[in-house]
Each structure stands twice: as structure tokens, then as C-alpha cells.
Structure 1
Amino acid sequence: METLFPDIHNLVLQQQSTIADLWTPQGWKFVFRRYLNDWEIPRVTEIFRSIDQFSGLEIGRDRLQWLGNSKGIFKVGAVYKKLNHPNLQLLKWPWKHIWKAKIPYKVSCFVWLLTKEAVLTQDNLMKRGITLCSRCFFCGKTAETVNHLFIQCKVTDQLWNLFLRRKSISWSMPGRISEALFSWEEAGTQAKNRSNWRIVPATIWWTI
């Protein structure tokens, strides 16, 4: 929770508790230091959704289980296939939009940080130990994450729509930066000038 949901982790009183301390036959027992705000409730719901497959505690020795296959057995060959899957590499690392686009080097570095979700948004500052009440600087309705601020926020969406409507382009915005770059590359296969097409996402995000 501390890594994935730092804003909610700061509100939980049992920060040093184990899984056994937090789990009861009736479900999870989180105790918050104050009442949750409206914009924090969806984050808590997201936490419960991510752990809803937890089936409870079993008596026995701890054991390692690899999630790469259904049997939980680690195999080097399976890891190699996952790491070298061409579509997976393209989806997770859209390098053409970062290093081949005709943009200043500092902008390329900025887009690289965006792809890594390492830009210092409020949620990343909280991961570094800075206490904040994470809310989007633009809309103020949800936590300020990289993907929200640069893709999902309604203010960012207005910037994208301004360009898309002007060029009469129909495009659906994905949920993550890396997916957006990959999707934009796919959408621009018929563009007359691919170089100009590739600089559009970086231009909009640098403007933000």
C-alpha cells in the first residue's frame, strides 16, 4: 500500500501491521486517522478491488510462488519469452516517440520520465516521504498521478481535443503514458509527415 497508494497509506493507523493483523474472517479491518474525503473514497475502493482475490490465511510454512504461470513454478524460458515479446516491448517502451522525435533533448528526457511515471507529481513526492494531500492541481477532484495529470484530467483532455478537432482526428485516449505513445504511433501510420506527427504528444505534455 505504501508504494501503490501512498496517499491512503498515510491515513491508515496500522502502518506497521502485518497481513495477519489486518485480516479477519469478516474481511479487512483498516482504521483511518480521520474520515475520508469524497475524492479519497474511490482510492480506497481501488485498494479493496486490488486485494479482493485474497482468500484468507492458511496454516503452514511460507513459500515462494511465481505468478508467471498457473502452477506457480519459476521457469527461465517463460521469463525470456515474456521479456522478448515484441508487442510487449513496443507497448512498454515507445522509444521512437522519445528519442527519434525531432524535439529538444530536454523534452525527450521529460517524456522519458513521463513514460517511467517518474515525473514529480504529488503522488511521487509522497512516495519520497513528503506529506501532501494529493489532489490534481488542475481539476482538484482526484489524486495527482502522472497518468491523471497528463492524460485523464479534464484540463489536459481539453488541450488534446483542441488539437484533434482542429485536425479532424478521431482518437481515443488510453489510460497510461506509454500506451498513449504507442497508440499515437499506430494512429499516425497514414500521416503525411510522421516526424511532425510524433512530436504532438511531447508538445502537449511539455505545455502542461
Structure 2
Amino acid sequence: MGLVYSSTVRGFGPDKVCWKPARNRGFEVRGYYCSFYPPTAVSFPWRMVWQAKVPSRVAFFSWSASLGKILTTDNLRKRRVIVLDWCYMCKGCGESVDHLLLHCPIAWELWSLVFCLFGVQWVMPYSVLELFEAWQGKFARHRHIDIWRLVPHCLIWCIWRERNARSFEEWKKWNKQLAFDDLGIQHTLPLARRSILSLESSWEFNIAHEGQSSSVVFIIDFTVLPLSTKLTTTS
């Protein structure tokens, strides 16, 4: 009551209820929902997610991951599922979407190897949404932009499949491939290439290269690997 009496009454006429976020339109469920979430400076990168030449299920997974909705341990616990909160990849931290796909030490090794393949120096963003937002960068008009757009989809899909294999099947497919601490970069490049190409059996890409339909093997071997030298001459 103290709050009511402390308010100064202005104007005349009968009292009425008004919705401040949208005085002209009145109360809307959409406006009420948006009032719980502060506006973000990052717009949703729908072109990177939906226009990349990847299978529909992979694009849908990338969309869910960018919104933080995939069923990692932290999201399962929010749904009152009793599960141990740890990362199935590094077994050292709690598992969240951004940690699993970006900041986990094992995931970061994979990202670093791909950046080496492209000759790119990159500071990993905080979230998957920011990653897709900033991914195109100066490559937006490059002739190999279609290949560059595949990379984040491919990596987060590989990491998610490996996470599920370790979680549900107790099968660590990449144990030796991910142990890069004792290997030099000249040995890790073939391993990283094989990790990316492991999707060829389920991803059937048809990207034209010099008028021909090319497989993922052809693209990686003849386009991605020498891409760093091409970028230096065109940028």
C-alpha cells in the first residue's frame, strides 16, 4: 500500500490498465514473452545456418545449437533429469552447449586443426550463435565461400556424434585421433582430414568444381588444403 500511496495521480477520468511495452497495441503474449529476455546485439545468422549446403538434419541441429536448445547435460538438468553434470569429452567441466562445441579442450583441438588447414588465425567466440554470426567475415565474397560455410556445421556435428557415442555406447572412436599433444602438426593434418571426411558416408555433397560434380574428398584434397595460399593472394 505504501507504493500505491507514494504514486502521484496525474490526469482525470476513470482508471484504466495499460501495458507499458506497447501502449498503442495493448497487451500481447509476444510482448510479454520478449520482456523476459533483454534485446541482444547479435542478429540470428539465418543465412549461415539455412543456406549452407548441408543435409537438413545437420542444418536443424546447427539451428538448435545456436539457440542453446540441444540436450546437453545442463539442459537435461533444467528438465529435472537426474544426470551427472560433466562433459563426456574432456571429463573435466560441466557440459553446456558452448563448452561442448567450442571451448572443450578436445573440441578446441579440432577447431585449431581446421583453422590450420585454412591458414586462419581465430579467437573463438563465447557462444555458438556468435560463432555463426562472425563466421563469414572477409570470406563472404570469396569463391570458396560454400566450402567455408560447411566447416562449422561439419565440426559441431562430428563433436555431437562423438559425444553421443561416448555417452550411450561407451565407444571412444577418436581416442587416438584426438590425442594431439604428443603429435606434431605434420602428423595431425591427415588425422583431421580423416575426421572431417568421415561424414562422407552420410553427407552426399554435390558442389561444382570447374564444371564437375565433386566429392568431399576431392574438395578437401584439391581446394581446402591449398586454400591458405589462395586467400593470401586474393585478400
Q: Structure 1-normalised TM-score? A: 0.57
In structure 1, what is the equivalent of residue 54 of structure 2? 103
| Alpha-carbon distance between aligned partners in 2 of 1:113 and 1:76, rounded to the nearest angstrom | 30
CA displacement, residues 97-123 of structure 1 (integer Å, 9 cap, x when unaligned): 111000000101110110111111111
Structure 2: 5+ residue stretches without partners = 5-18, 24-30, 160-235
Return the match for 2:22 from 73, 76, 85: 76
Q: Structure 2-normalised TM-score? A: 0.51
The answer to whether 1:150 aligns with 2:101 is yes
| Alpha-carbon distance between aligned partners in 1 of 2:87 and 2:106, rounded to the nearest angstrom | 10
In structure 1, what is the equivalent of residue 114 of structure 2? 163
| Alpha-carbon distance between aligned partners in 1 of 2:20 and 2:138, rounded to the nearest angstrom | 37
- Listed as ranges, the matches of 1:15-30 within 5 Å are none
Q: Structure 1 pair 159/192, CA: closer, same or farther in 2 (3 Å)?
A: same
Q: Secondary structure at the match of 1:91?
A: coil
In structure 1, what is the equivalent of residue 191 of structure 2? none
Q: Structure 1 pair 92/171, CA: closer, same or farther in 2 (3 Å)?
A: same
Between the aligned residues of both structures, percent identity stands at: 29
AA of the residue aligned to 1:180? L
Return the match for 1:117 from 50, 53, 68: 68
| Alpha-carbon distance between aligned partners in 1 of 2:141 and 2:45, rounded to the nearest angstrom | 18
Q: Structure 1 pair 129/89, CA: closer, same or farther in 2 (3 Å)?
A: closer
Number of residues paired by the alignment? 133
| Alpha-carbon distance between aligned partners in 1 of 2:145 and 2:2, rounded to the nearest angstrom | 58
| Alpha-carbon distance between aligned partners in 2 of 1:89 and 1:99, rounded to the nearest angstrom | 21
Structure 1: 5+ residue stretches without partners = 1-58, 63-72
Larger radius of gyration: 2
| Alpha-carbon distance between aligned partners in 2 of 1:100 and 1:90, rounded to the nearest angstrom | 22
Q: Structure 1 pair 60/148, CA: closer, same or farther in 2 (3 Å)?
A: farther
Q: Structure 1 pair 171/129, CA: closer, same or farther in 2 (3 Å)?
A: same
Q: Structure 1 pair 105/207, CA: closer, same or farther in 2 (3 Å)?
A: same
* 1:191–1:197 contact (8 Å) kept in structure 2: no
In structure 1, what is the equivalent of residue 44 of structure 2? 93
| Alpha-carbon distance between aligned partners in 2 of 1:168 and 1:161, rounded to the nearest angstrom | 10
